[in-house]
Amino acid sequence: MKIKNLHIKEYNGLENLDINFESERKVLDLVVLVGINGSGKTRVLESVLDFFYKIEMFYKSQNKIELFYEEIENESIKTAGNIDVFYNELKNGAKGAFLSPKYLEIKKILKKFPKIIYVPTEINFQKVQKAQTNLKKEYSFINIVDSYEIKDIPSYIATRISKVANEEENLTMGQVRKKVFAEINGIFEILELDVKLSEISKDENSMPIFTDSSGKKFGINELSSGEKQLFLRTLAIKMLEPENSIIMIDEPELSLHPKWQQKIVDVYRKIGRNNQIILATHSPHILGSVEKENIILLEKNENGIVKVKTGDEFGNSYGQTTGRILEDIMGLETDRNPSVNNLLNLVKEMVKNGNYENSEFKEKYTKIKDILGEDDRDLFLVDMDLQIKKGRKNAESKQN
């Protein structure tokens, strides 16, 4: 299940906003929402959540979502019967579509019914205390990754070990653990992490233990804030076993080093199968890792009304430098410190106008050179322009 189109009639300040989640008539499996603070990125995610909540709670949403169903979903719903009625109820936000007897019948037939998974920006990482080996996650249509979900991660790992041990009886318990650890560490392989899941504590708590390249061991509660964001958010999603599902993540770059931000999209794509991932981000590193057709830019006009721009309306993002993305897509005037940039522009202007032989210019030029150093590209161009102008002036003096 994927979202094809979203129309927000009114939601927390967003009004009459249409977002198309397709490119060349194909539904996108990755959508990256970008915009300045207050442009509505988080509210778009919350409006989707609100839409499905209202369906589940027997309310009709004034906002509209058009959905795309995978073949296996359509076939399963057809098997249950009355596909047109069910689809129209869902499409139009009819009361109780997901709690109706028809849906309950469908739910029994579907092997992997889609889920809505939402990962908010703020997660309170409370201390995780104990694992159990019989964790059973009941199906839920809407899933919020919060401290309640996070606390189950040690139990998920312990349960996964128990399950693999039952399925592969020829393996020793040590081999089983190594296989599960490799499975989990493999999700993060692209990030080249220094810290890896390496063992389970041998006390009654059965807590996961991590080891870094120096051999130092860490409990799950001793991970850094960035490591917690990475491991716990990601494993909480994996624990929900998403398939053909919609996964919405607000600010996936939170507390992550830029090196991780550059590759975090690939990490989320490795979780589950055939999911639609919708991200809201401020990170130019994430934008540089995706194609422009996957980017939706939210901008406020002079009247404070949010408008949508798609990849056709701005430059390419994939593989571009951070500075170019900040300026071309995110609307930043410069990626330099504004005061330094103003000083640089002033020096450029003085050279351009021939005002480079006075003490004011020498003072400003010396200051900007001390700040930027000899190898700065823009300062190198200033020097070239300065030498050309001095050369022309000397030539003119000789002719006269």
pLDDT per residue, tens digit, the chain (400 aa), is 899 999 999 898 888 999 999 988 899 999 999 988 888 899 999 999 998 888 766 677 888 888 888 877 777 666 655 545 555 665 555 555 555 666 666 556 544 568 899 999 876 656 666 666 666 667 777 888 877 777 888 888 888 888 899 999 899 999 999 999 999 999 888 888 889 999 888 877 788 899 999 999 988 888 888 888 888 888 889 988 898 999 999 999 988 889 999 999 999 999 988 999 999 999 999 999 999 999 999 988 878 788 888 877 777 888 888 888 887 777 777 778 889 989 999 999 999 888 988 999 999 999 999 999 888 888 888 888 888 888 887 777 777 6
Residue 347 and residue 364 in contact, taking contact as beta carbons nearer than 8 Å: yes
Q: Which backbone phi and psi does 153 adopt, to 5 degrees?
A: -60, -45
* Residue 71, pLDDT score: 79
Residue 61 and residue 51 in contact, taking contact as beta carbons nearer than 8 Å: yes
Residue 185 and residue 197 in contact, taking contact as beta carbons nearer than 8 Å: yes
Closest CA to 160 of 139, 185, 141: 185
- The secondary structure of residue 13, as a DSSP letter, is T
Both tokens assigned to 10: 């009114």
Q: What CA–CA distance (Å, rounded) separates 339 from 400?
A: 41
Quick check: helix, strand or coil at residue 381?
Answer: helix
CA 287 to chain centre: 9
Number of other CB atoms surrounding residue 211 within 10 Å: 15
* Residue 143, pLDDT score: 87
Distances in Å between the Cα of 191 and the Cα atoms of 146, 188, 280, 381 are 24, 6, 21, 37
* Residue 368, pLDDT score: 92
Number of other CB atoms surrounding residue 379 within 10 Å: 19
Quick check: helix, strand or coil at residue 184?
Answer: helix
* Residue 140, pLDDT score: 77
Both tokens assigned to 48: 């989707």
Q: Which residues pair with 199 in a beta bridge?
A: 209
Q: What CA–CA distance (Å, rounded) separates 207 from 390?
A: 71
* Residue 132, pLDDT score: 63
Q: What CA–CA distance (Å, rounded) separates 134 from 247?
A: 26
Contacts of 193 by beta carbon, 8 Å cutoff, 6+ apart: 185, 230
Residue 200 and residue 177 in contact, taking contact as beta carbons nearer than 8 Å: yes
Q: Which amino acid is at 215?
A: G
Contacts of 18 by beta carbon, 8 Å cutoff, 6+ apart: 5, 6, 7, 8, 308
End-to-end CA distance of the chain: 79
Both tokens assigned to 207: 């807590």
Number of other CB atoms surrounding residue 225 within 10 Å: 11
